[in-house]
Structure 1
């Protein structure tokens, strides 16, 4: 009997080991493509870090490509990812123009697509994960109305026209300003990169043309930091309230130091984890909602420390 028990025990151990090896092999076969718009932006970097960390924990291979803000380059990168037989695609479009083409290509290859932050209107992802930018921008606008007493001249440095975050932030901010007719938008210009250098140049031009501007809203923290820099070198005789959006680490530190008055902190780490969860759920045949909108938090000097210590 003892021998029989040993044989059975050995067989059980061998079976468990085989099942574990098969599970590991199965996990190793899961390859997720992560196509990021521009890793120069901290927002996208945080999502990348979160997806990769979550993938490592789950034994899922993540193949990341950086479009560097170039939609044509990104289309080629995704074509290569599909050729490499990825199982699912997490896609952050680099721009509005032709953003739907990679989704259509993936769909033709029967590859599920999770879109993040930006969703092509002509070819949306199987599920779209983003901040509820309409609600968040409305909250930010309400803050601006409160801090200015509902009076002043506003300059807006937009993101890329036609992209989901730009359209939604425009809608929400306008809804807030509609309650304060004394706050007038006197300048509005789009950026192409969402980056600080461009924010500086645009804000500088605005302040030269409209030196009485009292509020500058950069649709991303990097644009807002550029705007704050332009205010500093302009040597104006009045204070300008500068606000941003994203909750980037540099933006949060600028809020803490008073360079920016406020930002909206997005849940980038959570969005990264959720995007991988969604990709795996789609692979498992689960039905997901078309929109998975996440809240953002109004961040001022009073609460910036908490988000700097641990980004949501």
Structure 2
């Protein structure tokens, strides 16, 4: 509980820091138009970041042009080329996948446009800064929680996000730390998704339950995946046997946790809207020639039935 309290305070501090700069602070800086490239607006996580960017930018009189790659890297590269022709002054970029992720950063840099990466870091071609949630220790906490709830032993599966992306790699690292600390836990299967979606979570969850009917734990690397897997557990009538953990703090996931009526029992809530604000402020700072940290990594908050309602009422 003390750890959760500290993290709630950390989220509050991040939000305050991200919103400290006022419109007056940014008068005359020359940024009039920001390009925002997102992987998939069907995912609530990316929508929350979009809201943070667009609402804050609007308060400063900055236009935001948002493009949705719908999970396709080739589409995203084409969209970014188009953004550059529209005369954007800064580029906020969430790669649609690991393949070709470096290309949009390279294209923007060639035009002297500041690049702010969010959630995912293109390998070999970083932007001026990258902003993503603290994936490793937060995933460790989520997996430790579901292991504890399962009695510290039993079979476990992991349903990954998109292979090779920053959150997929780091969230596995954190969860594996928790598994390694508990010799009674057996990781019996892993499978990767393409879209981090509930449908994928449901389908993969069903297959894993058929292969391992005595399963006790599922970690879905995003809330959509976890909620899909939880539905598969319910459909199989195994609510009392299996606990499911997720990641992100999506609105629907938080509402589900607040009701506390499914096998999905724990997640890590990211400060998504505050991350969007921080991305805009970072773009402004870079455009002014100011230095920004290479990585800006806010905490995520371990969230379950007891504290989910506060984030339903006000998402960070």
**TM-score normalised by length of structure 2:** 0.89
Q: Counterpart in 2 of 1:224?
A: 226
Structure 2 Cα separation of the partners of residues 146 and 157 of structure 1: 19
Match of 2:81 in 1: 79
Equivalent of residue 110 in structure 2, options 97, 100, 108: 108
Counterpart of 1:300 (choices 286, 304, 308) is 304
Relative contact order (alpha carbons < 8 A, sep ≥ 6): 1 or 2 greater? 2
**2:300 is aligned with 1:278:** no
Give the CA deviation at 1:119.
0.5
Match of 1:267 in 2: 271
Please give the root-mean-square deviation of Cα atoms over the aligned residues, in Å. Answer: 1.4
Counterpart position of 1:89: 91
> What is the SS of the residue equivalent to 1:214?
strand
Which structure: larger Rg?
1
Shift of residue 124, structure 1, vs aligned partner:
1.2
Q: CA deviation at 1:198?
A: 0.8
In the aligned structure 1, how far is the partner of 2:164 from the partner of 2:244?
Answer: 24
Report what 2:183 is aligned to: 181
- Larger CA deviation: 44-53 vs 232-241: 232-241
How many angstroms apart in 2 are the aligned matches of 1:41 and 1:92? 13
**1:145 Cα shift?**
2.7
Specify whether residues 237 and 69 from structure 1 end up closer, same or farther in structure 2 by C-alpha distance, changes over 3 A only.
closer
Deviations 1:81-105 (A, max 9, x none): 1111111100001111010011011
8 A Cα contact 1:216 1:243, kept in partner: yes
- Which residue does 2:214 correspond to in 1? 212
Per mean C-alpha deviation after superposition, the further-off stretch among 252-261 and 116-125 is 252-261
- Asked if structure 1 preserves the Cα contact closer than 8 Å seen for 2:146 and 2:244, the reply is no
Aligned mates of 2:293, 2:239 — CA distance in 1: 51
Distance 1:70 1:189 in 2: 20
Distance of aligned partners of 1:267 and 1:291 in 2 relative to their CA distance in 1, 3 Å threshold = same
SS in 2 for 1:261: strand
**In the comparison of the two structures, how many residue pairs are matched?**
289
Q: 1:305 to 1:237 in 2, by over 3 A?
A: closer
C-alpha displacement of 1:148: 2.1
| 1:211 to 1:116, Cα distance in 2 relative to 1, 3 A | same
Instruction: Kindly report which structure 2 residues correspond to 1:102-251, keeping only aligned pairs within 5 A, or say none.
Output: 102-236=104-238, 238-251=240-253
TM-score (norm 1): 0.90
Query: What is the CA distance between 1:155 and its match in structure 2?
Result: 1.2
Q: Distance in 2 between matches of 1:28 and 1:118?
A: 27
Cα distance in 2, alignment partners of residues 286 and 150 from structure 1: 49
CA distance in 1, matches of 2:214, 2:232: 14
For residues 228 and 91 of structure 1, what CA distance do their matches in structure 2 show?
31
Deviation at 1:238, TM superposition (A): 4.7
d(CA) in 2 for partners of 1:252 and 1:240? 19
In 1, the alpha carbon distance for the partners of 2:240 and 2:297 equals 38
CA contact (8 A) 2:153 2:184 kept: yes
Moved over 3 A (4+): 26-29
- The alpha carbon displacement at 1:141 in A equals 1.8
